[in-house]
Structure formats: structure tokens, C-alpha cells
Amino acid sequence: MANNLKTTKYYEEFLRYASMSAWQHNNCNLGEVPYSETPFNDDLIKNVYLYDVCERKYAGFTQLLLDIFYSVDNHPYSPKMDETRRARVESFDTTFWGLEEFLFVFFVHRLTGSGINYASLNTGYHNSVLLHFTNCNSIDEMVDVIRDFKGPKFTSVGYQIAPFPKPQGDYKLGGDYFMCEILPDLVSKLAGFLENGIKKDFRTIMRWLEAYNKNKKMRVFWFQYAAVLADIADFFPRFLDTKSHFFYGKNAIECLKYLAERPSGLSEIEFLDKITDKIYEDIGAVPYNSEDIACDFIRWVENYINPKGDYSHLNLDLVWSSHNIIDHPFGRQKPMLELGLIKTFNGYGHPSDDKILRDNGLTIESYKDMVKTFS
């Protein structure tokens, strides 16, 4: 179906970014080409291993689930697997796991932070309790691990922890209480819902999860539940219409609104759906994947680098993306440095939103005028 949205200069850059990302996805992420040999004049994607995914299944926040779900022989990273990863994959025995056990693991992974730490090249394993499920044959045994585990099992480094209910009984953390006392019942009922009848779309399943939480008088964990639904699409697509419309997090909404002009009469969700439909028409990315591409795209436009850990050696005054939107007012931008709005980005961290502008008493409009005059 033709999509008559009026796109912007951001959309052209989005398509170019998606093409570069897809190349890195196939040749660097899944392949063995060194990132430094990426055939694009883009220092950011050559130096930061964040912009190399066009399917969220292969992003850093899903790496541990891949290690659990696949054996060494059928693992998508088998050809380039080092001994550490091989040993980790071999340590998991899922012989006795069914849909409920995998659903439980998906929820725990997303509720505890997906093992994410964007300062690490080998992201996806940070503070993860899933690493201690290796000998578990049932949800009851996983619950025992969670209840007795003394080490860190939550991470908010680049992630968002769910607003858990208050702990009850002997539990000290709301997350432990939810995962041990409520989650087993949730996944049991959800498995029955998924297995009953035809494939469901993303939003139908989310409505079921919303009703479950509200019935328990809990807040709905939209962000984390959406990530679980994407996991179901990745690992159990027979239960879910993977081409159906997904959900939009804060970063994705910010990005998608840049890509096209909103026609009068369209609600925000209709507008966002229409944009993702166009993306699917143009590059073949289904909505739950294009949402993740959008999140990475806006990071790329804003030159995101976590200046710590494995990236602490990078000179933040020299490593830039190749985007052509020279007046973009947010994040870390070369014109901000050239205009003297900041002496150096080194030691500053990554400035969020319009922080550099606010530090200089500038509005978005006045900054864009400065860039236009300077250029």
C-alpha cells in the first residue's frame, strides 16, 4: 500500500544509517570483518560497537538469551565463538525446559536490566542472575536461585528498572518479590494464552499483560514487557504475528517524529504506525525491529559514546558520525565545539538532550541560526 507521508531530511539519513548498520550487522556483528574495516567514512560506527544491528535479536541486550536458547552447533555466532562463550553456551542444559521456562527467563532478563552496560564491548552479561540458571530444570529451581542469590542482579546502566510492587514477607526487594511470588503464575497463564488459538499480535498480548498487572493492582511494566514480547517474536514466532505493530519507547518516538511531517487528523500512535509502515516498505524492517533501529539512529545522530570502560580511550572531540544534519541541537555535535559552546567533550560525558544549549543560554532556534551563519 502506498504511503504518502511527507518525509524530512532525517528520513534520508535514516535510510543511509540503516544501510550502514545492515552492512555491519552482516559483516562485523555476525561476520568476521573488523569494525575498523567498515567501508564507510564514519568514525563513530567504526569505533563504537552499538550501531551494528538491524535485527534486535542480535543486539547486545539479547546476547545472553542467544547463549541460553541455542547449542554451540546452531548458535548464530558459532563460527566466531571464543572459548569463554563456548563454555557459557555449553553450561546451559535446557533439555527439560518448555515454553513456560523460557518465558520466565525472558521476563527475568528484561526485568533485571538485560545485562546491559554500554561502556563494555562485550555487553549483555552485566549483573545477570541468568548466568546462575545453568543447572535449573524448572521455574521452581530458578526461583530458588533468585531468592538465595547474594550478588548484584540488577543493572540500570543504559536501562530502566521496572516499578515493582513493594516487597512483602521476608523479601527486601520488590523485584525479588515479583519474580519469585508473582512471575511464575504470570508465565503459566501467559503460556496458556499464547498456545490457545491463532497467532496474536503484539498489542493483543500487551493488553493481556496489562490486564494481569492491573488485576494484581500493580503498575504495568510497559518497557520491560515490550522487550519480552520482542523475545517471543525472536524465539517463538509461531505464537506471534511478527509483522504487527509494536510499541514506541521515548527514544524511538523522538526519532520517528523527526522522520516525517505529521498529517492533520492523525493521532500520535497512528502517525508512528504510519512511519513504521513506510520503513517496512522501504527497507523491509518489521516494526519491532525498526523501533530498535530508530533508537540507535537517534543515538548515532547525537554521536552517543559512553565515555567509560572500553571506550574511555576515545577522543570525544574527534570521533563523529557521518550524519549530514549539521544543525541538530541535541547530544554531542561538532558545531558545538567549533562555535566554542564547549571547550572539549573529553571529561564531560555524553550531554543529554539540549544540555549544551542550555549551558550557553541558547534556544534551539538561536542555535540553528548560529550554525547556519557559521557554516
- Segment 301-310 shows an average pLDDT of 92
Domain housing 201: 9-239
Mean pLDDT of the chain: 95
Query: Are residues 225 and 100 part of one domain?
Result: yes
Q: 156: pLDDT confidence band, cut at 50, 70 and 90?
A: confident
Q: Is residue 292 part of a domain?
A: no
- Segment 264-274 shows an average pLDDT of 96
Query: Are residues 229 and 340 part of one domain?
Result: no
Residue 221 CA to residue 236 CA, distance in Å, equals 21
Write the CB contacts of 43 (distance below 8 Å, at least 6 apart in sequence). 318, 319, 320, 321, 322
Q: Is residue 260 part of a domain?
A: no
Q: Is residue 347 part of a domain?
A: yes
Q: 71: pLDDT confidence band, cut at 50, 70 and 90?
A: very high
Q: Is the pLDDT at 2 greater than 80, yes or no?
A: no
Q: 161: pLDDT confidence band, cut at 50, 70 and 90?
A: confident
Q: 375: pLDDT confidence band, cut at 50, 70 and 90?
A: low
Per-residue DSSP letter, 345: S
Q: Name the domain boundary from 239, 265, 287.
A: 239
Residue 196 CA to residue 149 CA, distance in Å, equals 35
Q: 158: pLDDT confidence band, cut at 50, 70 and 90?
A: low
Residue 111 CA to residue 108 CA, distance in Å, equals 5
Pull the grid cell for residue 199: 497467532
Write the CB contacts of 16 (distance below 8 Å, at least 6 apart in sequence). none
Can you give the pLDDT at residue 322?
Answer: 98
Q: Is residue 283 part of a domain?
A: no
Q: Is residue 93 part of a domain?
A: yes
Q: Is residue 317 part of a domain?
A: no
Query: Are residues 139 and 17 part of one domain?
Result: yes
Whole-model pTM? 0.94
Please tell me the total count of domains within the chain: 2
Q: 119: pLDDT confidence band, cut at 50, 70 and 90?
A: confident
Residue 274 CA to residue 187 CA, distance in Å, equals 32
Query: Are residues 59 and 182 part of one domain?
Result: yes
pLDDT in tens, 224-264: 999 999 999 999 999 999 999 999 988 899 999 999 999 99
Residue 55 CA to residue 60 CA, distance in Å, equals 11
Q: How remote is the C-alpha of 11 from its chain's centroid? A: 20
Q: Name the domain boundary from 239, 259, 278.
A: 239
Query: Are residues 330 and 199 part of one domain?
Result: no
Q: Is residue 295 part of a domain?
A: no
- DSSP for 125-171, please give it: -TT-GGGG-TT--SHHHHHHHHHH--S-----TTS----PPPP-TT-
Percent of the chain with pLDDT over 90: 89
Q: Is residue 305 part of a domain?
A: no
Q: Name the domain boundary from 188, 204, 239.
A: 239
Q: Is the pLDDT at 1 greater than 60, yes or no?
A: no
Residue 160 CA to residue 114 CA, distance in Å, equals 10
Can you give the pLDDT at residue 4?
Answer: 83
Write the CB contacts of 194 (distance below 8 Å, at least 6 apart in sequence). 99, 200, 205, 232, 236, 239, 240
Q: Which amino acid is at 227?
A: A
pLDDT in tens, 182-198: 999 999 999 999 999 99
Query: Are residues 224 and 86 part of one domain?
Result: yes
